[in-house]
Copies of this chain bind each other. A is one copy, B any other.
Amino acid sequence: MSDSFFHPVSGFELPRFAGVPTFMRLPLVTPDHPRFSEVEVGLVGVPWDSGTTNRPGPRHGPRQLRDASTMIRAQHQATGLRPFEAANCADLGDVGPNPADIQDSMARITDVYDNLHGAGIRPLTAGGDHLTSLPVLRALARGAPLGMVHFDSHTDLFHSYFNGQMYTHGTPFRRAVEEGLLDPKRIIQIGIRGTMYDSEDRDFAKAEGIRIVEIEEYFQRGHADVMQEAREIVGTSATYVSYDIDFVDPAFAPGTGTPEVGGPNSYEALQVCRGLAGLNIVGADLVEVSPPFDQSGNTAYLGASIMFELLCAMLSQTPD
C-alpha cells in the first residue's frame, strides 16, 4: 500500500471546492521535490495547442482538468480498486511550452518525459492538443516501438496540412509510425467518424496494417467486443493509450476543437477504459479538452473521470 503522503485529500474532510487544485487532489511533486523519486505514476499537464489547425484552446486544458478532478474520489465503483493506495501517484505539474515555436515545445516535452522515463515514472498526461502525444512517445518509445490503443473520432494519420506543414494535431501518429515509435500492426483506432477530406489517411493505415474501427462497426459490435479485439491487437507488450476527448459525442464533451457528432456517450466513454485492464500500459494521455468552448467545466469533468479510469487501467496490471 502506498504511503499516505501520496493519498488525495478526502471530500469528507476538506470540501471538494476547497484547496489549491491539483490532479485528483494528489500532492504536487515537481522534479525538485524530495519525494520525486518515490513516484510511480505521475499525472502531468501539457498546456499546449500549437498543433491545432481549427479551434484553439487545449492550452487551457490541464488547469480546467485539475479543477474538475477535485470531484474524483478514491475508489473505483465497479472494481473496488483504490488506485492511490495501489501505487504512489502524484501531480508532477505542467510542462512549460513555448507557444510560438512548435519544435522548441516538442523538445521541451520530450526532455521532461525522458526524465520521467529515466526515473521509472509512468506518465498519465493531460493535454494539450493531440500533437502532444508525439513528443511524449519520443521519450517513452526509446528502444522499441510501442503498441497503441487510440480512442478518437479522427485517425490523426494525415501526411501534412497547409502546403507541407508536418506537425499538427492531425499528423502525430503518421509521424510516430514513420519515426518507429509505434508498431503500426499493434495500433487500433476506435470511434473514427465524421466527414472526410479524402481517403489518404485510411490508405496509409491500410498499407501499414493499422486497425481502424469506424463508429458504425463500434456500435454494431458493442464496446466489449471491440475492446476484446483491442487487447488482442496490442497483446502483452508495452502499449500506449491515447484518448482524444472528441471520441465522445459532443453533447457529452462540447469543449473540444474539432467535434464530430454521432459518437459514444459517457457511459461508453468509461467502459472502453475498463476494457484496457490487464494491458501493459507504459503511459496514457487524455487530450483535446478545450475550456474556451466549455466554460462550464462539464467536459473537463468527463475528462477527469476518464483520467481516473485510465489510471485504474494502468494499475490493474501491477502485481504487488
Kindly state the separation between the CA atoms of A16 and B170 in the bound complex, as whole angstroms: 14
Contact A60 B50 (CB under 8 A): no
Kindly state the separation between the CA atoms of A293 and B301 in the bound complex, as whole angstroms: 13
A266 contacts chain B at the CB level, 8 A cutoff: yes
Contact B59 A96 (CB under 8 A): no
Name the one of B45, B51, B261 contacting A302, with C-beta atoms under 8 angstroms: B261
What mask results when residues 278 to 308 of chain A are scored 1 for a CB within 8 Å of chain B, else 0? Answer: 0000000000000011011110011001001
What mask results when residues 87 to 120 of chain A are scored 1 for a CB within 8 Å of chain B, else 0? Answer: 0000101111111111010000000000000000
Which residue of chain B has its CB nearest to the CB of A28?
B20
A66 contacts chain B at the CB level, 8 A cutoff: yes
Within residues 2 to 51 of chain A, which ones have a CB less than 8 A from any CB in chain B?
Answer: 10-22, 28, 45, 47, 49-51
Contact B269 A10 (CB under 8 A): no
- Interface 9-residue window, one of A158-166, A181-189, A236-244: A158-166
Kindly state the separation between the CA atoms of A192 and B192 in the bound complex, as whole angstroms: 30
A215 contacts chain B at the CB level, 8 A cutoff: yes
A127 contacts chain B at the CB level, 8 A cutoff: no
Collect the chain B residues with CB atoms within 8 Å of residue A195's CB: 72-77, 305, 308
Contact A18 B96 (CB under 8 A): yes
Tell me how many residues of A have a C-beta within 8 Å of chain B.
Answer: 95
Kindly state the separation between the CA atoms of A267 and B196 in the bound complex, as whole angstroms: 17
- Interface 9-residue window, one of A139-147, A203-211, A227-235, A250-258: A250-258
Kindly state the separation between the CA atoms of A14 and B265 in the bound complex, as whole angstroms: 32
Contact A19 B67 (CB under 8 A): no
Collect the chain B residues with CB atoms within 8 Å of residue A167's CB: 100
Contact B301 A250 (CB under 8 A): yes
A259 contacts chain B at the CB level, 8 A cutoff: yes
Kindly state the separation between the CA atoms of A249 and B305 in the bound complex, as whole angstroms: 13
Collect the chain B residues with CB atoms within 8 Å of residue A293's CB: 292, 296
Name the one of B16, B162, B214, B249 contacting A252, with C-beta atoms under 8 angstroms: B249
Name the one of B78, B100, B165, B262 contacting A216, with C-beta atoms under 8 angstroms: B78
A52 contacts chain B at the CB level, 8 A cutoff: yes
Given the contacts A15-B97, A67-B67, A266-B261, A20 and B91 also touching, CB distance less than 8 Å: yes
CB distance from A115 to the nearest CB of B (A): 17
Collect the chain B residues with CB atoms within 8 Å of residue A161's CB: 12, 100
Contact A20 B93 (CB under 8 A): yes
Contacts A18-B97, A263-B266 given; 15 further ones with Cβ under 8 A? A14-B94, A17-B63, A20-B91, A50-B50, A54-B71, A56-B56, A57-B57, A75-B195, A77-B195, A80-B199, A104-B162, A219-B267, A254-B298, A261-B266, A295-B297
